[in-house]
Amino acid sequence: MSINKKRRSTGRVTLADVAQLAGVGSMTVSRALRTPEQVSDKLREKIEEAVSQLGYLPNQAASSLASASSNTIAMIVPSLSEAGCAEMFAGLQKVLQPAGYQIMLAESQHRIEREEKLLETLLSYNLAAAILLSVEHSANVRQWLDNLTIPVLEIGALTDSPIDMNIGIDYVEAMFQLTQTVVAKGYQNIGMLCANQEQWIFQQHLQGWRKAMLKAHMSPHRVINAAEPASFSTGAQQLPEFLLAWPEIDALVCVSDDLACGALYECQRRRIKVPDDLAVVGFGNADVSKVCQPPLTTIAVPHKEIGVRAAQALLARINDEEWEEVTIASSLCKRESC
């Protein structure tokens, strides 16, 4: 018996194609795939052979629509290269995948209007939940999410006005702790280097920085917010700008380890001794912070733990069980750069 492998209209093999090749009805194929114990071994093997030959994949969207349930969770991130994104995704997968849930990942490219278009598309699916690695949304998005009956999880950082669930670290407190550490070391002329990142995270970093500096009766005015991404090259390029604007600077607080390491490289090129002439600290505890020279004082953000704890809470919520809204603790890593 011969059959065209794919229909021209949809480009995918259908249940009817499998049924035709196996010489049975579509309902029999559906029963064999859903409840194989209700079909004889001989018939099941015949259907499995047809499925294998045609490369048939069940239409999960249609299945979830028919059953009014779904195992798909949508996740939108500002950028796949965002600090900690991969680790948080791995933590989410560690819990959600064994429970039978799949994450549909999309990137908004730090654009609120793109997040809106992505959500408009994704919410047309019968989702089990939505995860957002951002807390800054358009009015439309906030209204859509407010009206959803499924769980909405904002992950990574805490916010004062969460839409629904919110699990992450307190960026204000983390930056306050880091800046206080630099002040406690006796540095008097401290600067802060920022780069292109989510505006709300920048505001939280700035709030923690100002809180620590003002508490120590120091001026928080030495701040550069570069338009470029938080990378090694940006850190290296911005250090001369700092030295030109504030030659008295004796310590530099960076909002990412990549920025800090870039500044360290530029210090080595200019023969600036770290930490004797200039202390440099970072944020994130990236792997490079442990092996650069000198090793970098930084704040450790347990991104994978955030993903795991958030997934556990989300799974409990989906199953109508009690869940805990927790603040994940960051920790200070004291090393030789400060």
Strands (E), 197-290: 223-229, 251-254, 279-281
Domain CATH for 189: 3.40.50.2300
pLDDT band at 80 (very low <50, low <70, confident <90, very high): confident
Is the same domain home to 201 and 104?
no
CA–CA dist 309, 166 (Å, integer): 11
Q: Which residue has the higher pLDDT, 55 or 287?
A: 287
Indicate the pTM of the whole model.
0.74
State mean pLDDT over 9-22. 74
State mean pLDDT over 139-164. 86
Query: Residue 65 pLDDT more than 70?
Result: no
Q: What is the pLDDT of residue 298?
A: 97
SS3 category, 103: strand
> Do residues 331 and 173 lie in contact, with contact meaning Cβ atoms separated by under 8 Å?
no
Q: What is the pLDDT of residue 299?
A: 96
Query: Residue 88 pLDDT more than 80?
Result: yes
State mean pLDDT over 114-130. 86
> What does the mean pLDDT of the chain come to?
87
Residue type, 315: L
Is the same domain home to 191 and 162?
no
φ and ψ at 229, to 5 degrees?
A: -65, 160
Q: Which domain holds residue 50?
A: 15-58
Query: Residue 203 pLDDT more than 50?
Result: yes
Is the same domain home to 124 and 155?
yes
Q: What is the pLDDT of residue 144?
A: 83
Burial class (CB in 10 A: 0-12, 13-18, 19+), 200: middle
> Do residues 232 and 220 lie in contact, with contact meaning Cβ atoms separated by under 8 Å?
no
